[in-house]
Structure 1
Amino acid sequence: MKRRLLTALALLFAAGFVALGIWQVERRAWKHELIAAVDARIHRPPVAAPGPAEWPGISARNDAYRRISATGRFRHDRETLVQAVTERGAGYWLLTPLETPGFTLLVNRGFVPTDKREAATRAAGNPGGTVTVTGLLRITEPGGAFLRANDPAADRWYSRDVATIARARGLGRVAPYFLDADAVPNAGGYPVGGLTVVRFRDPHLVYALTWFALAAISFFFAWRLWRPATLRSNSDS
């Protein structure tokens, strides 16, 4: 009886591992479709930044990393520095509100090093008047889980959480996404745009092979448990 129970458990585990392996294969196919879609978006000509009528339909799957452009005036007095680690080292992303006709759009103008944290040290890079900015549409980062929680009261920011930044800066009718500016240089040198890293983790094949290997081991143990009983039955006959 004990042997039968262990055999049944081994088969149950094997079935579960097979199901997990199949799920990872499906996830891998989905991830590859997403990577192909994002790659296509990045290389398309820019379109106008989505306005309020389009906001309800924006999603990470369909809109992340679309090339967009917007025209307006920067509110440099309401900029936000978000801690970042880039290929240029540690520093900050500089998010500045861009007032466009009808709504405000947060623009990640790029990277500034720690010694350029104070606005006065990079004033030459803050354009006045009407500007047109082109870059990639990015979905808001509400923080939590793997990101430290923002502390608006202390003006410490660790994620590009559009809604929270908008409230802290007193902005009205803000787009639910932000724009990562492209690499067009500005007169003052900082911030440095065009540092968006478009990379997707794709470990699903390794995961699938791991689950299938565990399934094979479970099937092997089930066979070993079942085999002695079969041999005894044959010898008794």
Structure 2
Amino acid sequence: MKRYLFPAVLGAVGCAILISLGMWQLQRMAWKEDMLAQIRARIEAPAVPLPERIDPGMKYMPVTVSGTTTGDEIDVLSGSKEQGGGYQVVSRFLTDDGRAILLDRGFIPQQARHMDRGPVRLKVRGNLHWPEERSGSTPAPNLDENIWFARDVPAMAKALDTEPILVVASVVEGDAQGVEPIPVAIEGIPNNHLSYALQWFMIAVAWAGMTLGLIWRIRQRKY
């Protein structure tokens, strides 16, 4: 029995750790689903006029703004399932009360990038947003071509001389100039905890199988 003790203990402890990791991922999944439900409720809440004071804690708040684009914009490399590669148009927007903010007007296909989008008056319903799209591997913006590879609110605000406020349009009244709004949605927020949990459980099953195999080999050597 002493020969079986070490592999049995090792197998039991390993399985316990792996199963606990799987259970932890299930708990994380429940937490993430609750968080996503809260974000969805916040996104879909009644819109209010753009507050005078804005802070990142207001992320996803629905707002309405009226004003005029200036013709200055940033083209952020993007893509659409329906139209393929293209760009998200982030425009400098002057509100009726004189504020300069960033307005993510939505998507254009590649061939529409160089079309004229001069100043236009718009009334917009959208959501305040501070996307976290940059990573260590994100290239720096190509300022010569005005192509950006991620939405970076502070950097875009500096480039377009606006407040560091981004409104992502969901409904636009006025001449959209061929730009299709891409509303803020929870679909872009990853929730992979179920797949992670299944991976840990499968590893636990494999660990148990290897433990049983080792015990069987030890028993075979006995005879």
| TM-score bucket of the superposed structures, by smaller chain | 0.7 to 0.9
Task: Note if contact 1:135-1:182 (Cα within 8 Å) is conserved in structure 2.
Answer: yes
1:160 to 148, 151, 162: 151
Q: Which residue is equivalent to 1:46?
A: 47
* Alignment-mate amino acid for residue 205 of structure 1: L
How far apart, in 2, do the equivalents of 1:40 and 1:185 lie? 24
Q: Shift of the alpha carbon at 1:224?
A: 5.6
Q: CA deviation at 1:187?
A: 2.8
After superposition, the C-alpha distances for 1:74-121 in whole angstroms (9 at most, x for unaligned) are 232x2111111113332211111223447532111122222222252x
CA distance in 2, matches of 1:118, 1:195: 23
Name the one with the larger helix percent: 1
Q: Deviations over 1:33-89 (max 9, x none)?
A: 12212332233211233443x41534xxxx33x32222343232x211111111333
Q: Following TM superposition, by how much is the alpha carbon of 1:212 offset from its aligned partner in structure 2, in angstroms?
A: 1.9
Give the alignment's Cα RMSD to 1 decimal: 3.4
TM superposition shift of 1:3: 6.0
Partner of 2:164: 174
In the alignment, what sits opposite 2:178?
190
> Separation in 1 of the partners of 2:98 and 2:172?
25
Q: 1:51 to 1:22 in 2, by over 3 A?
A: farther
Is the contact between residue 91 and residue 112 of structure 1 (CA under 8 Å) also seen in structure 2? Answer: yes
* Structure 2 SS opposite 1:191: coil
How far 1:132 sits from its partner (Å)?
A: 3.2
AA paired with 2:74? T
**Offset at residue 142 of structure 1 (A):** 4.7
Partner of 1:55: 55
Say whether residues 1:24 and 2:25 are aligned partners: yes
2:149 counterpart SS class = coil
* Partner Cα distance (2:28, 2:15) in 1: 20
**Preserved CA contact (<8 Å) 1:111 1:192:** yes
Identity of aligned residues (%): 27
Alignment partner of 2:129: what SS? strand
Task: Measure how far apart 1:196 and its partner are.
Answer: 4.9
Deviation at 1:188, TM superposition (A): 5.7
Name the aligned partner's letter for residue 19 of structure 1.
S
State how far apart, in whole Å, the 2-side matches of 1:88 and 1:75 are. Answer: 27
Number of positions where the alignment pairs a residue of Structure 1 with one of Structure 2? 219
Q: What are structure 1's unaligned runs of at least 5 residues? A: 233-237
What's the TM-score, normalizing by structure 2? 0.77
Runs of at least 5 residues in structure 2 that lack an aligned partner in the other structure: none
Cα distance in 2 for residues equivalent to 1:67 and 1:225? 60
Which of 72, 85, 92 aligns to 1:90? It is 85
Is the contact made by 2:7 and 2:214 (CA closer than 8 Å) also made in structure 1? yes
